[in-house]
Amino acid sequence: MRIKNYLDGNVCKNIPVLALLLIICIGIVILDRQQGKNQSSTKAIFAMDTYMELTAYGSGSEAALAAAELEIRRLDALLSTGNSTSEIARLNTEKSGVLSQDSCYLLERSIQINELTEGAFDITIYPVMEAWGFAGEEFRVPDDKELSELLQYVDMSVLEYSKETGELKMPQHTKLDFGGIGKGYTSQRVTELMREYDLEGVILNLGGNVQTFGEKPDKSDWKIAVKSPENSVPYLGILSVKDKAVVTSGGYERYFEEDGVAYHHIIDPRTGKPAQSGLMSVTVVCRDGTLADGLSTALYVLGRDKAVALWQQHSDEFDLILLDEQGKLYVTSGLENAFMSELEYEIIY
Ligand code: AMP
Ligand code: MG
């Protein structure tokens, strides 16, 4: 009882002081949160053979970007075909093994995208990539006989994979390449990881594979310039997106020239040659970064009509921006209010 009275008395006397302290504390918390919101960090790194730029907004931005870089380097070391100690390179040499969780996921998604795209996306393309010199940058033009021999080994149905154990076995000449899907998977993994930090929003640009989550500090959507194959046109247009990946594939991104002919790095698994589908570039806009990356490569192989037909069956999952060789631009209807361009374009419904 005595204690209660004593406390009551002191509390009453000190009410103005306590109120002032409370106001100061609330002020400090608000100020701190505001500063956290205004805080942002950017990191530029070179990995997976490309320049990457990562930007995060929020009080956890520095820690989140440090974790993001570690994750990118981890996946680069795992998936790089050119690094003899990577999981994929060892698999290509040893022809069997128990896959890591990342590779299991990538393989299962690759099988799915292969089925979805009538085989246009095919990770067993690697022997053909090597023949053209894209694996080691010693470019050459293989003849038709060599290509038809190598095409025997481009076949995902020969992969013996157990979902339960993660074990993969493949025939002697089969070799895998996650190059068409790896950056999209990485951006997806990194955004998932960054969600665990105190952040308002994130934008990652892994060499043209863009992925975003959350919001910019001013609450507006992210504005993403869609890459243009022509140097004279800096970009095809601007996309406003939220929680989406924007991934572009085009032959102009990696190619070599011989006798005045350009040979690019997206191979049609039916011919073993650089795809000639009449498209200059394909941009896929999708929540799922892995799907966006796999599809952009595959739809570049399939061409406009098949790309549109696939979109019509899956228009709730992804949208497209297609540029054909005549310079005609097509945009699927899900992007009608999100895409702005000074160029003429046709909306596809
Ligand atoms: P992207 O830049 O995402 O379109 O991927 C191109 C890369 O994917 C190439 O450099 C190859 O490593 C790989 N690739 C090429 N052709 C195919 C294909 N038809 N299916 C799957 N991956 C491919
Ligand atoms: Mg791709």
8 Å CB contact between 88 and 78 = yes
3-state DSSP call for residue 157?
Answer: helix
For residue 96, give both structure tokens.
């069997």
CA distances from 131 to 1, 91, 238, 317 (A): 91, 19, 37, 35
CB 127 within 8 A of CB 175: yes
- Nearest Cα neighbor of 290 from 195, 222, 211 is 211
Q: Tokens in use for 148?
A: 């038809």
Per-residue model confidence as pLDDT tens for the chain (349 residues): 333 333 344 544 565 665 655 555 454 444 445 555 579 999 999 999 999 999 999 999 999 999 999 999 999 999 999 999 999 999 999 999 999 999 999 999 999 999 999 999 999 999 999 999 999 889 999 999 999 999 999 999 999 999 999 999 999 999 999 999 999 999 999 999 999 999 999 999 999 899 999 998 899 999 999 999 988 888 999 999 999 999 999 999 999 999 999 999 999 999 999 999 999 999 999 999 999 999 999 999 999 999 999 999 999 999 999 999 999 999 999 999 999 999 999 999 9
The residue length of the chain stands at 349
**Is the Cβ atom of 110 under 6 angstroms away from ligand 1?**
no
Q: Measured between alpha carbons, how far is 298 from 296 in angstroms, rounded to an integer?
A: 6
Instruction: Return all residues near 154 (Cβ < 8 A) that are at least 6 apart.
Output: 122, 124, 125, 127, 128, 269, 272
Give CA separation, 49 vs 84, 114, 171, 183, 194, in Å: 15, 24, 28, 10, 23
Quote the DSSP letter at residue 179: T
Q: Considering every ligand atom shown, identify the ligand nearest to the alpha carbon of residue 208 and give its number.
A: 1
Q: What is the pTM of this model?
A: 0.89
Give the C-alpha separation, 328 to 70, whole Å: 41
Nearest CA to ligand 1 atom 1: 180
CA-CA distance, 11 to 161, in Å (whole number)?
Answer: 71
Pocket test for ligand 1, best of 122, 175, 177, 211 (most atoms within 8 A of CB): 177
Task: Tell whether ligand 1 has an atom less than 6 A from the beta carbon of residue 290.
Answer: no
Please list, in sequence order, all residues whose beta carbon lies within 8 angstroms of the beta carbon of residue 283, skipping any fewer than 6 positions away.
226, 227, 236, 246, 247, 248, 296, 320, 321, 322
Of all atoms in ligand 1, which is nearest to the CA of residue 293?
Answer: 3
Closest ligand 1 atom, residue 181 Cα: 3
